């Protein structure tokens, strides 16, 4: 893991990420649902836990980036320096929870419906419709790819999402990057393993 030392910082930026999947991966829809549950928007677990329940931050989210080749998955938040330790522990706990516990049925169904609803709304935007056609052409997706998206998302199962979390959010694959005050943040990160420290110019200390 890495720490970018920013002296006297009043905030800590936390990033927890890992290698992800390509846009054409057969797991794309499954990982989309997984990402929505853990941190996709204000109903995601990270936002609810770190902001609404704990008040550590104004926002906490996750996102996945995909392309022709392997992309990435990233969870991130900015917190007050003094709550760096509990915030990082809670963030990591939510990732563990995703791997270790099946998502409750109502939460799971609500998040899948949210994905489908957001897609339906996107059809009202000519720009979004054009982007969808470009994506289908760029990644050589089936002609009916977007027509069948609601059906595919609805078909994703709890077991598939938990299996994807175990595979893609394996602790051995996760990387932690923090930007903050070294004196206060360094000891926190050392609880999670060896820490490489860099200055704000990217030079290793």
Contact, 2 vs 198, CB < 8 A? yes
* pLDDT for position 41: 87
* pLDDT for position 205: 85
- Mean pLDDT by runs of 10 across the 205 residues of the chain is 94 96 96 96 95 95 92 96 96 96 97 96 95 95 96 98 96 94 93 92 90
Phi, psi of 179 (to 5 degrees): -120, 120
In the block, tokens 């709890």 appear at 158
Contact, 51 vs 80, CB < 8 A? no
Which spans in 23-157 are helix H? 28-39, 45-46, 84-100, 105-122, 126-138, 149-155
* pLDDT for position 192: 86
What topology does CATH give the domain 2-198? Cytochrome Bc1 Complex; Chain A, domain 1 (3.30.830)
Tell whether pTM > 0.85: yes
* pLDDT for position 165: 97
Beta bridge partners of 198: 4, 204
Name, in order, each residue with C-beta under 8 angstroms of 194's C-beta and a sequence gap of 6 or more: 1
Name, in order, each residue with C-beta under 8 angstroms of 25's C-beta and a sequence gap of 6 or more: 31, 66
* pLDDT for position 178: 97
């Amino acid at each position: 893991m890495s720490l970018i030392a920013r002296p006297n910082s009043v905030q800590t930026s936390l990033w927890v990420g890992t290698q992800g999947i390509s846009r054409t991966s057969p797991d794309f829809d499954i990982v989309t649902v997984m990402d929505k549950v853990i941190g996709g928007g204000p109903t995601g677990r990270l936002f609810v836990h770190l902001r609404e329940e704990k008040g550590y931050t104004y926002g906490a989210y996750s996102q996945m980036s995909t392309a022709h080749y392997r992309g990435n998955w990233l969870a991130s938040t900015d917190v007050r320096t003094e709550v760096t330790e509990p915030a990082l522990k809670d963030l990591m706990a939510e990732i563990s929870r995703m791997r270790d516990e099946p998502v409750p049925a109502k939460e799971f169904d609500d998040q899948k419906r949210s994905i489908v609803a957001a897609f339906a709304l996107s059809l009202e935007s000519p720009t979004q419709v054009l982007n969808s056609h470009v994506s289908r052409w760029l990644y050589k997706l089936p002609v009916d790819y977007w027509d069948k998206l609601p059906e595919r998302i609805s078909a994703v199962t709890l077991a598939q999402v938990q299996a994807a979390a175990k595979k893609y959010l394996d602790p051995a694959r996760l990387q932690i990057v923090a930007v903050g005050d070294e004196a206060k943040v360094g000891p926190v990160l050392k609880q999670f393993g060896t820490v490489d420290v860099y200055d704000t110019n990217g030079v290793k200390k």
